Amino acid sequence: MSGDAHLLVAADYVVFAVVLLLSAAVGFYYAWRSRKQGTSRDFLTGGRKLNALAVSMSLTASYMSSVTVLSNPAEVYRYGAIFGYLSISYVLAVVYTSEVFLPVFYRLAINSTYEYLELRFSRATRLLAMVIFFFNALLYTGLVIYAPALALNQVTGMNLWGGIISTATVCTLYCALGGLKAVVWTDVVQIGIMFAGYMSVIIKCVILKGGISTILSDAQEGGRINFVDFDINPLRRHTFWTLVIGGTFGWSAVYGTYQPQVQRYNSCKTIKHARLALFINVLGLACTLTSSVISGLCLYSFFKNCDPWKAGQVSSPDQLLPYLVMDILADHQGLPGLFFAAVYSASLSTVSTSINAMAAVTMEDLIKPRIKLSEKKLLLISKGLSLFFGIVCVAMAGLASLMGHMMQAVSIIGGVCGGPLLGLFSLGVLCPFVNSKGGLWGLVAGLAAAVSVTIGEIISPSPPEMTRPLSLSTEGCNFSSGGSLNWTTPLPTEPSLYTWQSPSYLYFVVIGGLTAIIVGIIISLLTGKKKRKDFAIGTVISFSYCFITTFCFCSSTHHFRGIEGDGGPEAYANERRHSFLSPVMNTFKVVLMLFITES
């Protein structure tokens, strides 16, 4: 590759600028249309008038970050297409969310997910969960802004801080002016731009290689088509079980407890639209994952004989896809600009989502409970908070520039924070006997367990025989190597009974979640389980209460504390009549409840 191929030309910058301005224009348009929003609730939830299609696309865009666009193909390049098993976890997680969390959150009509925790447990639990959320959101958002800017700066020469400041400025302005409605409709445009960027790379690779069959054949020969791996060893980085089980817990935490996602489906006009948005979103996630896997296979097909990372041409695997783009699309002026616009669109969607979510949590969890203000003042404060968090995100990007290798660390932090919260919310909704002490100590224990395994991974990383990176070669390179980075060759180690063996990073969220659940249940049983009169109507689902009461506590009286109140099996069946799984699951649940109440 020549040195000139690394530089963007004027046409690329024009395309990049037009796409950025288009995103801003959509946001500003809906900001103008929503300028008469009368309350902070309308600003933060879109007035709960959004439709399923727009929300579903926003759900996909908000978690299809720039880190995802750049890292997922590199993950497939290094570890194989087995990464595609995550698609199964998407379905399982969305089913769990729609059946367990969605009915509770939607009917409570809460602006902040953590309002639920005070209704169900205590204010202390709510505040601790909120602190965990801010820690996760700020670090992740800083990374999402900084990491792609750094990758594109090193590969293309694009100005580093120019990219960071432009990203933060654009999304902060339309967030502060238009609220959630502007964010959602901008996401709709940005998801199209992201897929256009992906497809430009995939189509060009297929043309150059003479068809998709050549790419698949290269991948097969290189061991990248590695779906047949059902090893149950939890220490292995990627197997069917780690991806499906760990992925299900991880994505359940995202869609069931993470403020940006809950805030979106709570903004739908009806609960039916909210459920539909979740399930349409699965298609978007599947398309995103498929694009990532194919892009990763394209990377291997092009670099199978000359790996740019081992050859020292790039400093990180996350720079491989931009490196390929500048190699194969440099002759098509404007297309590299489209791809990099897709990367920055992914940043915009995630950053705007985080800004809006942090503003909502601050307003609902810190300001409203303490200060009585008029709706006009609350609306102004909401807009001011959006502006404030936009500035904070730029500062976090600066912090990311000083912290070195943050990519894997912050990805793990997402699991560390998400696991305990998933366990806590599951306890709240599914286990009515769990009291406030059980909830709080379960959250603390789950966080401690997740942090412990993370520290263990940092101190003693998983050995190559557990991560199993696939082989790469530099035999076909025509330039001198910039240093050996051969992570494919396991180093001999002396076996020791005292050597820490870290589980797959995908299991960190599982460990945190299960620890929170187990400790929460034990503490509640030791300190006196929650009584029926002690929790607010709408904070648990009926089926779990009657099931646990009957089979775990052998009580002679079976209470139903449903989302709309008491009413027995008939009320529960009526509550769940709109479920996507009603033909099978609801019939089974109602029959079981009738059997329980008659026993």
Question: pLDDT confidence of 537, banded at 50, 70, 90?
Answer: low
**Cβ–Cβ < 8 Å for 387, 177:** no
**Percentage of residues of the chain with pLDDT beyond 70:** 80
3-state secondary structure 341-354: HHHHHHHHHHHHHH
Q: Is the pLDDT of residue 31 over 80?
A: no
Average pLDDT of 94-118? 90
Looking at residue 473, what is its pLDDT? 83
Question: What is the distance between the alpha carbons of residues 588 and 583, in angstroms, rounded to a whole number?
Answer: 9
Pull the structure tokens for residue 304: 């199978």
Sorted by sequence, the CB contacts under 8 Å of residue 163 that are 6+ apart come out as: 148, 149, 152, 153, 344
Looking at residue 294, what is its pLDDT? 95
Q: Is the pLDDT of residue 560 over 70?
A: no
**Cβ–Cβ < 8 Å for 89, 506:** no
Fold of 10-233+259-404: Sodium/glucose cotransporter (1.20.1730)
Looking at residue 583, what is its pLDDT? 46
Looking at residue 571, what is its pLDDT? 39
Question: pLDDT confidence of 565, banded at 50, 70, 90?
Answer: very low
Average pLDDT of 139-150? 79
Looking at residue 510, what is its pLDDT? 94
Question: pLDDT confidence of 367, banded at 50, 70, 90?
Answer: confident
The full set of domain ranges for the chain reads 10-233+259-404
Looking at residue 570, what is its pLDDT? 40
User: Cα 24 to the chain's mean position, in Å?
Assistant: 23
Q: Is the pLDDT of residue 96 over 60?
A: yes
Tell me the chain's radius of gyration from C-alpha atoms: 25
CA contacts within 13 A on the Cβ side of 487: 16
Looking at residue 88, what is its pLDDT? 95
Question: What is the distance between the alpha carbons of residues 147 and 144, in angstroms, rounded to a whole number?
Answer: 6
The crossing angle, in degrees rounded to 10, of helices 320-328 and 271-303 is 70
Q: For residue 562, give the DSSP letter.
A: B
Q: Which of 469, 531, 473, 466 is nearest to 501 (CA)?
A: 466
Please write the tens of the pLDDT for every residue from 229-253: 899 999 998 999 999 999 999 999 9
Pull the structure tokens for residue 422: 């998933």
Specify the 3-state DSSP secondary structure of 529: coil
For residue 20, give the amino acid letter: L
Q: Please list, residue by residue across 325-347, b when 16 or more beta carbons sit within 10 angstroms of its beta carbon and e when fewer do.
A: bbbbbbeeebbbbbbbbbbbbbb
CA contacts within 13 A on the Cβ side of 333: 6
Of residues 115 and 146, more confidence is placed in 115
Pull the structure tokens for residue 568: 């027995």
Question: pLDDT confidence of 257, banded at 50, 70, 90?
Answer: very high
For residue 111, give the amino acid letter: N
Of residues 485 and 328, more confidence is placed in 328
Q: Is the pLDDT of residue 323 over 80?
A: yes
Average pLDDT of 347-375? 84
Looking at residue 89, what is its pLDDT? 95
Question: What is the distance between the alpha carbons of residues 577 and 571, in angstroms, rounded to a whole number?
Answer: 10
Q: Which of 103, 112, 153 is nearest to 133 (CA)?
A: 112
DSSP track, 339-388 = HHHHHHHHHHHHHHHHHHHHHHHHIIIIITTT----HHHHHHHHHHHHHH
Q: Compute, in degrees rounded to 10, the torsion defined by CA atoms 126, 131, 137, 139.
A: -160
3-state secondary structure 450-507: HHHHHHHHHHCCCCHHHHCCCCCCCCCCCCCCCCCCCCCCCCCCCCCCCCCCCCCHHH
Least confident of 200-214, 422-436, 484-498: 484-498
Looking at residue 185, what is its pLDDT? 82
Q: Is the pLDDT of residue 591 over 60?
A: no
Q: Is the pLDDT of residue 3 over 60?
A: no
